[in-house]
Structure 1
Amino acid sequence: MQLNDEDLLRYSRQILLKQVDIEGQQRLAAGRVLLIGLGGLGSPVALYLAAAGVGELHLADFDRVDLTNLQRQVIHDGDSLGQSKVISASSRIAALNPQVRCVLHERGLDADSLSAAVAAVDVVVDCTDNFTTREAINAACVAAKKPLVSGAAIRLEGQLSVFDPREASSPCYHCLYGHGSEEQLTCSEAGVLGPVVGTIGCLQALEVLKLLAGFGQPLVGRLMLFDALNSQFRELKVRRDPACAVCGGDGH
């Protein structure tokens, strides 16, 4: 994909980076990303991917904007109250960077539509807040062999990892979390500070840019933990489970 003079000016600061350069910017422009969840995590992901010039953003969320969202879901504003989050987010993206094409999924994705949505993109970003949905997204990514950038945040803690079924050694979400925990609280139940989800969302956007442009080392086989209370990051190694019910028999 050729860049015109306006593109070169708009993206000049990141094109200056040797890790990106013009070739990397062209890869971003050709990139297609499915972003599931346009709340606290999805807001910064969508904004930074659009600003960076990712060519096509597939936005999925069945929810509508309400007043409690505005404390952390920064892609929405007071004028968006009552509006579909997908419509609200796409309007903000168009204002930020009209070159980005948005594909909208306003209804919840069932098994068939989720598989089709995953197959249509290069990278999937999980910005949801419940275990069942995350498991479904993971299974679809494993089946389609599409990299998954997974983030979560609650209270004053966040975590982030990348699961890439194209790599033989990569674990999947199920390898790490199995059947989930007994306690599956959401932000509406346990609370969360806005900059915590913002931090994790920004890091998710960074991982997507690395995957699309082809630079650096994505967080494959690693789980990053963020402790906002003490401003600390930790990293844990995560191994693939050969007996995993999701990716164990996929030919890795």
Structure 2
Amino acid sequence: MSKEFDYEEAFSRNIGWLTRAEQQLLRGKRVAIAGLGGVGGSHLLTLARLGVGRFHVADFDRFDLANFNRQAGATMSTLGRRKVDVLIALAHDINPEIEFETFDQGVHDDNVDEFLRGVDVYVDGLDFYAFAARKAVFDGCARHGLPAITVAPLGMGAALLNFMPGGMTFEQYFRWNGCSEEEMGLRFFVGLAPARLQQSYLVDPSTIDFKGRRGPSTPMGCSLCAGVAASEALKILLGRGKIIAAPRGVHFDAYRNRAVTTWRPGGNANPILRLMIALGRRRSG
């Protein structure tokens, strides 16, 4: 049975949690997502189902077999295809009216201002080890006064940090300036989830390899991240609901059935996190 697309009907089940006026507001909002892999692809499809109507998306990668355990769009039929093409097609199947601006060479210092132009909120979907791209985007968000959301899939949970205009910036929290990439990885890992809820059930610590740029992942973690990120984006876009922003964060772990709100004044300059970073250096050395 063929039927013409109708925005109001397609997203009518959002109404109740949203007003009809709020749904129309989302229709005109613009969200930037850099990275369309494990979390970024799920972010895009979740926000598309929420009814967000405009996106800037950046990714240069193609699907391969190692993506199958967690990445939206990773199937046998998409092997070797560009992630940005596959995810845009999937989003258009949900809402053919979505407007996309595509950055198929990724995001970097030379195009980050264009990537963020006209955007209402940035949702981070970059690979953990995409240090240069992540620094460029979060620095750009701070420069342009844009809210930025990052949710990390750690084990079978999700760790949230929001960086809001006028508040603590990504750099002020993680303190990456002047660091090697190995040090950036360690600081990012420690700062993302200072409660370390996932550590107690990591059965093979050797799989976390900052030097080799590899780490384990789960589909549950990525799916949880999409729900958390979309909920934060909704609050920011509609201007309602409490936003917990850095240096505060939230870590929910489904495996342990635990949720905590963390507070680390100074970010990675906090004495507790400085100790964790020092211990991490000792183990990796």
Distance 1:100 1:157 in 2: 30
- State whether residues 49 and 205 of structure 1, in contact with CA within 8 Å, keep that contact through their aligned partners in structure 2: yes
Q: Which residue of 2 aligns with 1:53?
A: 51
| Residue identity opposite 2:29 in structure 1 | G
What are the superposed Cα offsets for residues 82-106 of structure 1, whole Å, 9 maximum, x if unpaired?
Answer: 0111001001111121121222111
Aligned CA RMSD, in angstroms, stands at: 2.4
Structure 1 gap ranges (5+):
244-252
Cα distance, 1:153 vs. partner?
2.2
Report whether the alignment pairs 1:237 with 2:263: yes
CA distance, structure 2, for counterparts of residue 229 and residue 14 of structure 1: 28
User: How far 1:142 sits from its partner (Å)?
Assistant: 0.5
In structure 2, C-alpha distance between the alignment counterparts of 1:90 and 1:25, rounded to whole Å? 21
Percent identity of paired positions between Structure 1 and Structure 2: 27
Deviates more, 1:82-91 or 1:218-227: 218-227
**Following TM superposition, by how much is the alpha carbon of 1:119 offset from its aligned partner in structure 2, in angstroms?**
2.1
Q: Name 1:216's counterpart in structure 2.
A: 241
> What does the per-residue CA deviation read over 1:164-219, in whole Å, with 9 as the maximum and x for residues that have no partner?
11xx3x21112221123547657972211111121112211111122112221123
Give the alignment's TM-score, normalised by structure 2: 0.74
Counterpart of 2:218 (choices 193, 200, 217) is 193
Task: Report what 1:176 is aligned to.
Answer: 173
Residues 33, 238 of structure 1: alpha-carbon distance in 2 compared, 3 angstrom cutoff: farther
**Whole-angstrom distance in 1 between the partners of 2:74 and 2:89:** 9
What secondary structure, in the 3-state scheme, does the structure 1 residue paired with 2:242 have?
Answer: coil
Task: Give the 4+ runs in structure 1 shifted more than 3 A.
Answer: 154-158, 180-188, 238-241
- Aligned-residue offset at 1:65: 0.6
Distance 1:199 1:77 in 2: 20
Measure the CA separation in 2 of the matches of 1:95 and 1:116. Answer: 26
Equivalent residue in structure 2 for 1:205, among 209, 222, 230: 230
CA distance in 2, matches of 1:16, 1:227: 28
Decide which structure has the larger Cα Rg and report it.
Answer: 2
Question: 2:157 touches 2:220 (CA, 8 Å); kept in 1?
Answer: no
TM-score in terms of structure 1 length: 0.83
**CA–CA distance in 1 between the matches of 2:124 and 2:84?**
15
One-letter amino acid of the counterpart of residue 10, structure 1: A
Task: Give the total of aligned pairs.
Answer: 233
Contact 2:26–2:237 under 8 Å retained in 1: yes
Where 2:111 maps in the other structure, the secondary structure is helix
Whole-angstrom distance in 1 between the partners of 2:15 and 2:138: 32
The within-5 A match list for 1:18-97 is 20-97=18-95
Q: Which residue of the partner structure matches residue 120 of structure 1?
A: 118
The answer on 1:141 being equivalent to 2:141 is yes
Question: Which stretches in structure 2 are left out of the alignment for 5+ residues?
Answer: 177-183, 190-208, 270-285
Taking the aligned partners of 2:26 and 2:226, their CA distance within structure 1 comes to: 18
Instruction: State how far apart, in whole Å, the 1-side matches of 2:49 and 2:74 are.
Output: 16
Cα distance in 2 for partners of 1:240, 1:47 equals 34
